[in-house]
């Protein structure tokens, strides 16, 4: 987890180590000093790359969201062989499943993501907008395939994303272990799909 002092310290190396330290100590107890100690540098060195603990937390969360949520969903959004109906369902199911998985299997990073959601509004807004762009592309494809009624893809994407919030927003994580949650998602999904087909 440490690096030799003679190697150049990059933002990526700091973020890699910050993630490891956050998983060890949790987001509330982790300090910039902890990250610096793991890298065998002074905390001032970290501050040259990130001006504050909040900035480091935000950058770590942003990268985690990109790697663990945005990129896998982009792979689904780019598929050209699936019907748009199946692709849209797969996209939302993957979003829901990945959020649930991280809430259970990576609780420290999920806790940080949850707290950063409240603190870094601009970063989270950008993340959500990128997700909506992916959904909008699938909807536009569905319109071209004559599977979805003609409308404004970006507005429909926003509506679908908002309507499924309970299943993927971290504020609702306490509900995701309910035995009925999959059935409830399926009911909501059928209703939403009937509105756009």
CA angle 95, 98, 104 (to 5 degrees): 140
**First CA to last CA across the chain, in angstroms?**
51
pLDDT attached to residue 197: 94
d(CA 108, CA 28): 9
Residue 7 confidence (pLDDT) = 55
| Distance from C-alpha of 63 to C-alpha of 55, rounded to nearest angstrom | 12
Distance of CA 46 to the CA centre of its chain: 25
pLDDT at 110: 94
Considering only CA atoms, give the Rg of the chain: 19
8 Å CB contact between 197 and 149: yes
Which residue intervals of the chain bear CATH 1.10.357.10? 54-196
- Domain 11-49, CATH among 3.40.50.300, 1.10.10.60, 3.40.50.720, 1.10.10.1100: 1.10.10.60
Fold of domain 54-196: Tetracycline Repressor; domain 2 (1.10.357)
* Burial grade of 13 (CB within 10 A; 0-12, 13-18, 19 or more): middle
Residue ranges in the chain whose pLDDT is less than 70: 1-7
Encode pLDDT of 109-131 as tens digits. 999 999 888 888 999 999 999 99
CATH 1.10.10.60 placement within the chain: 11-49
Handedness of CA 153, 158, 162, 165 (dihedral sign): positive
């Amino acid at each position: 987890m440490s690096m030799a002092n003679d190697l150049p310290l990059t933002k990526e190396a700091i973020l890699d180590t910050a993630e490891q330290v956050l998983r060890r100590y949790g987001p509330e107890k982790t300090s910039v000093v902890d990250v610096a100690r793991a890298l065998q540098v002074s905390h001032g060195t970290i501050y040259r790359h990130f001006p504050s603990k909040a900035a480091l937390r935000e950058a770590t969360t942003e990268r985690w969201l990109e790697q663990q949520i945005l990129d896998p969903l982009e792979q689904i959004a780019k598929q050209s062989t699936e019907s748009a109906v199946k692709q849209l369902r797969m996209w939302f199911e993957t979003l829901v499943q990945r959020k649930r998985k991280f809430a259970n299997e990576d609780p420290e990073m999920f806790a940080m993501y949850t707290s950063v959601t409240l603190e870094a509004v601009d970063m989270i807004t950008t993340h959500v907008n990128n997700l909506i762009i992916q959904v909008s592309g699938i909807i536009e494809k569905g319109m071209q395939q004559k599977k979805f009624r003609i409308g404004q893809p970006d507005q429909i994407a926003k509506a679908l994303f908002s309507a499924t919030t309970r299943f993927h927003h971290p504020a609702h994580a306490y509900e995701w272990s309910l035995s009925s949650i999959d059935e409830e998602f399926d009911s909501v999904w059928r209703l939403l799909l009937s509105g756009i087909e």
